[in-house]
Amino acid sequence: METIVFTPNTLTVIAPKQQGYEVPVHTVYYNLRLGNRNLTNVGSSTSTSIGTTTLNPGNITFQNPVEVFSIPMFVQNVEVTLGGKIFITFVEPFTLNIGEHTGAITFRCFGKLYELPITYRVIVPKRIKMSPKEVFFCLDKDPIHVDRSTNAHKFEMRLTMQMKSNSLMPTNTIVQTYEYLSYRPVVDVYPGDEINSFFETNYATSYFITRYYATKVQVEIIEYNAQNEIITYGVLHNLYFLPGKTPKAFPFLTNGTKRRIYDRSKIAVSALYNSPDLAHFISKDDGPTAPTIPPIADPNSWENYKVMNWTFERLDVIPSGVVYRETTIDFVSVPMPNGSQNIIHLFFENQNRVMDWFSCVGEVKFTSEFSHLQDETTGQKFGSLETQTLILHTGFILKEEIPLINELIKSNECVIQIGEEFYKAKPISQKNEIYDTEKHLYAMEIEFEIKRNAR
């Protein structure tokens, strides 16, 4: 029986010798030519979690039907579909010895055999260490410790990030690879520094919404020798990352641990869906539209790691006239100053990419600045541009609220509510002017640029 060997390349698969590592199914693509019912190879796309290999058997042609005649011991299953695709599933590498295992898959078609040579290379697994946490904050400097192999010339950190803004949106998968050259025995790498830049801004405001999901990350560390061959591989699965640093009021995502509230203050808090502290806080809302947090059956589900943003009016949840403590936040009730009519509500994105809040009963002043377009030679005017500015005097605030105001000033955008009017604004203050009175109270002025047509 005639045997034809697929040339010129061999399909090479690389996997670490560790239990539980799943080698992906490789797919070799073929094109079924209906004219003469020949099955002609047109190339392939194969990949592993470690590297990418390509297979080009040339222009070997054989007719349907195709039968799998034999497989090597390190191949678990081979399937040939009517659509002209060949799926190859490999055994788990922990069952094999370290080193190269060679063999071939043989197909039979109308009296001819076709061999597909395969090399299955089992490499040393890499042990990488990272202190375990339920959720990581990107900028907390949680390192991965990489013990360098003696023959390692370089290593790569490959991040596979799964990101989603809400339950209705598809998952966005981003893969980034970072290369390191180092000859130190132990190297620390910080995946959070890279992950933090991929979070998107979501300025939507609502009573109870999903702000975003914690990014689900797979971290792979791959070592290479001087010949650029893979020598070790390690992987960490299902790490969850949130943007920024661990907030001072964690599990609530805010640094405002002590803040003033008025009877009609609007308050916004954010936390992970599975946070018992958020569920406890929400249970105090006895209003007709109070949200609920049904438990997720699977405790490891990604749904537990979505960040919820809850906005409510103070009197629906917090009693009037008391200092109220909710886990890590002190709410200090203060009376409305004489002559004050409206509470000014400010909602802004904090360092954890959630809507934070601040309310005051200070004064506001609107100003307009004009720039004119004109010909410098003739002086002829062609038009004018108007920039509207809002200056907010906060009134007296707590000393503990000053860092919160600083974070407001650093935010990219915010929403300001004055009475029934809403303004989309950009903080543009260059400094926070603090006035220390004899009573040790503080006040600040904040300047905003009002976005036109955003009222």
- Give residue 38's pLDDT: 36
pLDDT in tens, 125-175: 777 888 889 999 999 989 999 888 888 889 999 999 999 887 677 889 999
Q: Which amino acid is at 49?
A: S
pLDDT for the residue 196: 94
Most confident of 19-23, 55-59, 82-86, 123-127: 123-127
**Predicted confidence (pLDDT) per residue in 403-438, tens digit:** 999 999 999 889 999 988 899 999 999 877 676 656
Instruction: Give me the pLDDT at residue 115, please.
Output: 80
What is the pLDDT at residue 45? 40
pLDDT at 114: 76
What is the fold of 258-450? Pnp Oxidase; Chain A (2.30.110)
Residues 6+ apart with CB under 8 A from 264: 313, 314, 315, 343
What is the chain's mean pLDDT, rounded? 80
For residue 384, the model assigns a pLDDT of: 83
Identify the CATH number of the domain defined by range 126-242.
2.60.40.1930
Strand partners, 415: 347, 424
Report the pLDDT value the prediction gives residue 362, as an integer from 0 to 100.
78
Locate tokens 């699965």: which residue? 237
68-105 residue pLDDT tens: 899 999 888 888 776 556 778 888 888 888 788 889 88
CB 251 within 8 A of CB 323: no
Q: Which helix (H) or strand (E) holds 53?
A: strand 52-53
- What mean pLDDT do residues 202-224 have? 82
**Region 182-186 average pLDDT:** 82
Report residue 181's pLDDT band, with 50, 70 and 90 as the boundaries: confident
The confidence score (pLDDT) of residue 249 equals 95
Query: Could you read off the pLDDT of 284-322 as tens digits, one per residue?
Result: 887 777 788 888 888 889 999 999 999 888 888 888 877
Q: What confidence score (pLDDT) does residue 306 get?
A: 93
The pLDDT of 238-243, averaged and rounded, is 94
Domain with CATH 2.30.110 in the chain: 258-450
Q: What is the pLDDT of residue 304?
A: 92
Whether the predicted pLDDT of 3 surpasses 50: yes
Which of 109-113, 241-245, 341-345, 382-386 bottoms out in mean pLDDT, i.e. has the lowest? 109-113
Following CA atoms 177, 182, 185, 188 in sequence, which dihedral angle do they give, to the nearest 10 degrees?
A: -50
369-400 confidence digits (pLDDT tens): 888 888 888 878 888 888 889 999 888 888 88
Considering the chain, tell me which residue range(s) the CATH 2.60.40.1930 domain(s) occupy: 126-242
| CA distance readout (Å), 90 to 79, 202, 298, 353 | 12, 42, 29, 42
- Please give the average per-residue pLDDT across 205-231, as a whole number: 85
CATH architecture of the region 2-123:
Sandwich (2.60)
Distance CA 201, CA 175 (A): 20
